[in-house]
Amino acid sequence: MSNLALDYPLGRPIAPSITVRRRRPLPQGAVLRVQTGDGVSALQPIAEIATQNGRVPVLAGIDGRVIAVTPGKGVIIEGVATLLQGLVGLGESAAGPLAFLPQGESPAVALIPRGAILVYPQRAPLTLLQRAAAHGAMGVIAASASALELESFARADISAFLEQRIPLAVPGPLVVILTEGLGDAAMQMEMQTLLRRREGEMALVNGTSHPRQNVRPEVLLSRPDLAVGEYVPPPVLLRPGAIVRVAAGARRGMRGMIRHVPAHMAVDAAGLRTRCATVELDTGERVSLPMHLLDIIG
């Protein structure tokens, strides 16, 4: 990543209040229940799909207004929402109420609410993903996952998929969003707190993830934080004064402020020459870190 790039398209993983336009894809044969110009609520059916068990509604997912309707393809809705972005995702668009597993229960035996978007703020085991798909959950928002277990769930080479070299078919309608990416990392406390506070509310999730194009998976919640106002993106440069979070390595998840950006290249821990920045961490420690490991958060 160059010093002009951002890991998050909006600069930060959370935008408390932002106007968005999102497409809800529809399969061929879906019966539309809305038309251009209609106002919709998150819980409102915008279409119905015929299945063996009868007609299944497709919910809007967010409050807003229908901007465009294309029969057999999708409905575009515009609204104001809270937006959360992850780093790695699978699957397309899905909607459902946010739900957490009961405190202290193992993901191998805990009840999975049908139709819900399950939030798991730790590393998601393969068992959880498989049970969520089997029990009819619409999506899983987890902190992280093992690359091998995610490949086992998706039955595909994740690296090849993220580089857009192969298509991906996720079992069932399940959307998976990893807020911290691959590996073993806990969810950022701000994001976990926000999702816990909005438990039971409707969420619209999209797992589309194309890192080379800086397209990230996302979660939309219809009730924005109106006290914050419209989202204003941060400066795109990693420069002195920027608040950053370490995205990888031994200090992954730690935060700090960039104090100095040397003009010359430095040799990192792997022996590679790269641009580095001097970061004062929240712990008070000053360290030199490669700039490609830093995410701007403020």
Q: 39: which 2 tokens?
A: 């106002």
* Single-letter amino acid, residue 219: V
Q: 82: which strand partners?
A: 221
What's the pLDDT at 7? 64
Whether 67 and 170 have beta carbons less than 8 Å apart is answered as no
**What is the Cα–Cα distance from 153 to 169, expressed in whole angstroms?**
10
User: What pLDDT shows up at residue 234?
Assistant: 57
pLDDT tens track of the chain, all 298 residues? 333 445 677 767 888 888 899 999 988 888 899 999 999 999 999 999 888 878 889 999 999 999 999 887 899 999 999 999 998 999 889 999 999 998 888 888 899 999 999 999 999 999 999 999 999 999 999 999 999 999 889 887 887 777 666 565 544 568 999 999 888 989 988 899 999 999 999 999 999 888 777 788 999 998 766 555 555 555 556 788 888 888 777 888 888 888 988 878 777 666 777 888 889 998 889 988 888 778 777 6
Length of the chain equals 298
Q: Could you tell me whether strands 45-51 and 31-32 are parallel, antiparallel, or unpaired per DSSP bridges? A: antiparallel
CA distance 160 to 171: 18
Query: Which amino acid, one-letter code, is at 98?
Result: L
Domains by residue range for the chain, with CATH: 83-221 (3.50.30), 243-296 (2.30.30)
C-alpha to C-alpha distance for 211 and 26, rounded to whole angstroms? 25
- The answer to whether residues 235 and 242 touch, using CB atoms and an 8 Å cutoff, is yes
Contact 143, 197 (CB under 8 A): no
Question: pTM for this one?
Answer: 0.80
Instruction: Give the pLDDT confidence score for residue 119 in this predicted structure.
Output: 97
